[in-house]
């Protein structure tokens, strides 16, 4: 199995969107990119730890490619809003791809450049592409949050696409 890590706003809807892809074998929501070890949801919500809410996607590369995961990532959120998705505001909701290796870095950079050239958005794409650091798994009540409640998405309108 391979791992991909994406931040695209509130991790509940992002996780649900990736769980629905054939070839995704597991997901976990958590925090990455900050400077506090073992952050809690409350810590991250202060917008002072530097962490992003992320989804760690475990996938079978023989069934789904990293490029297909990137395609889903671009579809489910607005990569032109800095530190915001829908009603959620703060650096923890930023658009970010954390890469595991040089292949992922190159693929993410190429996909971002292609999206910028496509003219799909009238504003610049602000998605950060950064090396993966420690992944801090979120509290258990956040894991598969929507699924546990019988929901398919967050219900946010627009490019979230996870609803």
Query: Which residues are known to be catalytic?
Result: 10
The residues near 101 (Cβ < 8 Å, ≥ 6 apart) are none
Q: Tokens 């546990």, residue?
A: 148
Q: 3-state DSSP: the chain helix, strand, coil percent, rounded to 5? A: 35, 25, 45
- The Cα 51–Cα 138 span in angstroms is 12
Q: Tokens 């809807």, residue?
A: 13
Dihedral in degrees, nearest 10, Cα atoms 56, 61, 67, 72: -50
Residue 85 in contact with residue 109, Cβ under 8 Å? no
What residue spans of the chain are helical by DSSP H? 11-19, 41-45, 66-75, 102-118, 145-148
């Amino acid at each position: 199995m391979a791992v991909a890590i994406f931040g695209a706003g509130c991790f509940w809807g992002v996780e649900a969107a990736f769980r629905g892809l054939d070839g995704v074998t597991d997901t976990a929501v958590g925090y990455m990119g900050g400077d506090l070890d073992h952050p809690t949801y409350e810590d991250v919500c202060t917008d002072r730890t530097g962490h992003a809410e992320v989804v760690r996607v475990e996938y079978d590369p023989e069934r789904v490619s990293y490029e297909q995961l990137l395609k889903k990532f671009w579809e489910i959120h607005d990569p032109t809003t800095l530190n915001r998705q829908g009603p959620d505001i703060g650096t923890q909701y930023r658009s970010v791809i954390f890469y595991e290796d040089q292949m992922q870095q190159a693929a993410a950079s190429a996909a971002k450049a292609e999206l910028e050239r496509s003219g799909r958005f009238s504003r610049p794409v602000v998605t950060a592409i950064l090396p993966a650091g420690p992944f801090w798994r979120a509290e258990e009540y956040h894991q598969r949050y929507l699924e546990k409640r019988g929901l398919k998405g967050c219900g946010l309108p627009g490019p979230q696409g996870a609803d």
